[in-house]
Amino acid sequence: MEWKTDWGLRGRMMFTMFLLFALYLVFVGVIAAYFGNMLFALIMLGGFSLVQYFFSDKLTLWSMGAHEVSEEEYPQLHDAVTRLSRQADLPKPTVAVTDSRVPNAFATGRNQKNAVVCVTTGIMSTLDQEELEGVLAHELAHIKNRDMMVMTIASFLSTLAFIVVRWGWLFSGGDSRNQAPVWVAIVVSLLVWVISFLLIRALSRYREYTADRGAAMITGKPSALASALMKISGRMDKVPKEDLREEAEMNAFFIIPINRGFIGRIASTHPPTEKRIERLRDLERELETA
């Protein structure tokens, strides 16, 4: 069973990461030049980000109102997660359920041993077993690909830049001789923040494509995820507005984000659903013609 490597996708991802790294170097240079005494604060912020990262599984479950469920409560769900984890060579993650009519799923956790896969009651009633397994495999692929770690590292720069834009003026006191105006550093940080925001969004979309590929190879059935995406995407439009509003904050973690009016493609964390389905269709064709 052979699959062609998607070098185009990998190349674009590497280029995006390279740009983020270059941007980071520029940013560190600016900070060192203008805010010597701010470095300590930035290191503290880095520590805080680490703490948030390490407790990410519990924080996410709590904020989503999800609770862990046992084998006896949801045997079929546990069976599917166990079987797919075995195929993916992953330790079985914790399985959680959120009581919500919005059909959605997410994965969280700082590494493969401390991962959680969560589904909503809405998605379990919307999808059939094969489609649900496509979704679960997508979430397991995120865990396997270490997307939480990759995105946390990538997003750190954006967080730092935002802090400087927001609070940089507080550090402008002190020796003012031979010092360029502090607003120059703030403007540079603003540019860094905007550019890194867009680059991180692009990286997030690429990670979604790789998770879709991973899901297709775990299930051996690209059509399962494609069909699930179509159903979820269609069902989103019918869910009452209140449910959608409550969960919009967690968009980046979802298998399909909730629409909030118009969002430009460059600011979206997920590729368009039709493009994801198109790529899955290519994989299905590859299965039959290999």
Partner 1 sequence: MGIMDTIRAVFGSSAEHDATREADPEDLFGMSTAYMTMEADLGYPNAGAAALCFSSVDSTDFEDALREVRDILEAGEAETGTTASIRMDQQGYHWVVLEDSDPEDLVTSIHFAADTFIERGYGSRLLAALFAFEKDSRYVYWVYSFRRGAYYPFAPTRGRERDQSAEFKLQSVLDGELGVEDDTAYWYPLWPESPGRHPWQ
Q: Does 217 bind partner 1 (CB under 8 A)?
A: yes
- 31 and 164 in contact (C-beta within 8 Å)? yes
Give the integer Cα–Cα distance in Å for 96 and 89.
Answer: 20
CB of 152 to partner 1, least distance (A): 12
Question: 3-state class of 118 per DSSP?
Answer: strand
Q: Does 140 bind partner 1 (CB under 8 A)?
A: yes
Q: Does 12 bind partner 1 (CB under 8 A)?
A: no
Q: Does 117 bind partner 1 (CB under 8 A)?
A: no
CB of 159 to partner 1, least distance (A): 20
Using a 10 angstrom Cβ sphere, with 0-12 exposed, 13-18 middle and 19 or more buried, the burial of residue 138 is: buried
Q: Does 18 bind partner 1 (CB under 8 A)?
A: no
Tell me whether residue 82 or residue 179 sits nearer to partner 1 (CB atom): 82
- The site for partner 1, by CB under 8 A, has a size of 53
120, 126, 219, 269: which one binds partner 1 (CB under 8 A): 219
Stretch 35-94 residues interacting with partner 1 (CB under 8 A): 71-72, 75-76, 79-80, 82-83, 85-89, 91-92
Tell me whether residue 86 or residue 245 sits nearer to partner 1 (CB atom): 86
Torsion sign across C-alpha atoms 70, 73, 75, 76:
negative
DSSP 212-281: HHHHHHHHS-HHHHHHHHHHHHHHHTTS-HHHHHHHGGGGGGSSSPPP-S---GGG-SS--HHHHHHHHH
| Span from 37-45, 173-181, 188-196, 217-225 in contact with partner 1 (CB under 8 A) | 217-225
Q: In the chain, which ranges are continuous DSSP H helix? A: 7-34, 39-54, 56-64, 75-88, 121-126, 129-144, 147-167, 182-219, 222-236, 241-247, 273-289
CB of 88 to partner 1, least distance (A): 5
Q: Which residues are within 8 A (CB) of 197 and not within 5 positions of it... i.e. 6 or more apart?
A: 158, 267
x/- site string to partner 1, residues 177 to 206, per CB under 8 A?
-----------------------------x
Provide the β-strand partners of residue 117.
Answer: 95, 107
Binding site for partner 1 (CB under 8 A): 1-3, 5, 10, 13-14, 17, 71-72, 75-76, 79-80, 82-83, 85-89, 91-92, 113, 129, 133, 140-141, 144-147, 149-150, 206-207, 210-211, 213-215, 217-224, 284, 287-288, 290
